[in-house]
Amino acid sequence: MSVCLALFSVSVQANEQTTNESSISPNSAALIAQLAEVKLSKTLPVLEQLEAVGGAELLPLFTTLLEGKLYYVKASKQIVAVEKKGSDYLVSDLFSAQLLGAMKKKEIKKIRVNNKLRVFLRQAIARLQIKSPEPEKRLIAIKALYGSLTDSTIDTLKKVYPDETNLEVKEAIELAFALYESKSPLAEKRLAAVNGLAESLENEARNSLTYLVENDSDKKVQMAAGAALKKINERIEFYDFVDQLFFGLSLGSVLLLAAIGLAITFGVMGVINMAHGEMIMLGAYTTYVVQLLMPDAIEYSLLVAVPAAFVVSGLVGILIERGVIRFLHGRPLETLLATFGISLILQQLVRTVFSPLNRQVESPLWMSGSLEINPVLSLTLNRLYILAFALLVFGLLLIILRKTSLGLNVRAVSQNRSMAKAMGIRTDWVDAMTFGLGSGIAGIAGVALSQLTNVGPNLGQSYIIDSFMVVVFGGVGNLWGTLVAAFSLGVANKFLEPVTGAVLASILVLVFIILFIQKKPKGLFPQKGRAAE
């Protein structure tokens, strides 16, 4: 006990020095000290005075009290922040966050709060953050006040409004004024407020307009509120359409990555590779292993995982082609059965090495969160990055096939294998490189999928059927057809899901493809010339 008090006395001296160097005024310090003495029923007036005489420097006090971590030391009545750790309580300076030491529970006492105080604290924190130098914090603070606007809050907003330079924050303040005026006893003010609310997509604006439509006694206000609400709902429907379109394109980008490698091998070699899904799975597990090897550099792990997954899946693909598929040329049924067996072997191998349980792959911070366009539309960053990444891979693959010797050989073999062989092209080498390239791209698809779903042994099986549908629908061996088919099927699936459900939507898409192939057996973009033969 004596050792703890000695340690804490040293800490208190350090704390007093920090406090003296801080910007807390003597009046604020005196009011803060009162929190250790007043009863719960008398705490609110003290907090109100603190907000009046203090400023943004009191935010740590209010936030710590709201979190239930504000204590005072019984011996010295000093106000501190406390974090519980086991049986000890880590005591920190309230404003500098400097650790002062560990104390026992009996040496400190918690400053209690009730629901009434919590409501005040949330509003006070928002009012103090309105004066923050950071526009993002000011915007969040203003939006936090929408549901509890008072005369004092509006007065505070009126003071800061003329000096506000950020357009988004300015619009948020104007909406707060409109929300406040919508409850005015004067019909003219409510009517004017409707015009301000009509331009906003915030929930509070819609709720306020709905209330005016249903309860306002003035017919003009009711009609104006109804028209504004209709206009807002039309905008929301449009943004819902954009949101569904984005998710459709996101699914399409995943299908593109999964199918584009299959389109190459299927188009050049005529091989129905049932192990293609396992190449995707290997890419996802490669991402998992890379993160295990560099746990302190998750932000850069995907930059390492992409080439690593390409190499791992590509080498496995070459091994499969050299070890099995090259002996089965011109025998599609045997190739299908052989690759199906390989897929089972790879699944069991992964279960043996990593266990059958799903593995969670972390997303880097730069892929986390979302890009908020407006209050009703936000685009998740991971899907946005994967969409851009899929288009980048597609572009690089086009360059490889059109501008490199490998691409020239691949096109020659796909058009006329016998003639290409007669011209001296090593068709067996082209087959191996083509299969490796297609498998490597499937591995890259696995990296992308690891950011959207859990990594497990059956990951590839979820996409192999969809990949074949994309290839057949777009036209066998046609990359542009694969691109159009992937995005078409992805968008169609996402627009059908809200109406029919996920399972029925997939069935309807499959039925459509079957009917389409009956009319156009070679797909959307059939190959022409020798390649069609």
| pLDDT of 18 above 60 | no
- List Cα–Cα distances, 149 to 56, 177, 178, 330, in angstroms: 20, 9, 11, 76
If pLDDT is split at 50, 70 and 90, which confidence band does 528 have? low
CA 367 remoteness from chain centre: 7
Exposed (0-12), middle (13-18) or buried (19+): which is 353, by Cβ within 10 Å?
A: exposed
Q: Identify the residue with better confidence: 16 or 429.
A: 429
Question: Mean pLDDT of all residues in the chain?
Answer: 83
State how far the Cα of 375 lies from the Cα of 176, in Å rounded to an integer: 15
- What is the average per-residue pLDDT within 139-153? 82
Please calculate the CA angle 244-483-360 and round it to the nearest 5 degrees: 60
Both tokens of residue 48? 């109100």
pLDDT in tens, 210-263: 989 888 888 888 999 999 999 999 999 999 999 999 999 999 998 998 888 888
At residue 3, the pLDDT reads: 40
At residue 401, the pLDDT reads: 83
pLDDT in tens, 28-43: 888 888 888 888 888 8
| pLDDT of 529 above 50 | no
* C-alpha dihedral, 452 to 524 to 278 to 338, nearest 10°: 170
| pLDDT of 332 above 60 | yes
| pLDDT of 22 above 70 | no
pLDDT over 70, % of the chain: 93
Q: Letter for the amino acid at 194?
A: V
| pLDDT of 414 above 80 | no
- What is the average per-residue pLDDT within 420-429? 80
Both tokens of residue 312? 């791992």
Alpha helical stretches, state H, 71-146: 115-129, 135-144
Question: Do 436 and 282 form a contact (C-beta atoms < 8 A)?
Answer: no
- What is the average per-residue pLDDT within 412-421? 76
pTM, rounded to two decimals: 0.74
Best CA proximity match to 446, nearest among 271, 307, 285: 285
If pLDDT is split at 50, 70 and 90, which confidence band does 284 have? very high
If pLDDT is split at 50, 70 and 90, which confidence band does 53 have? confident
| pLDDT of 80 above 60 | yes
pLDDT in tens, 304-324: 999 999 999 999 999 998 888
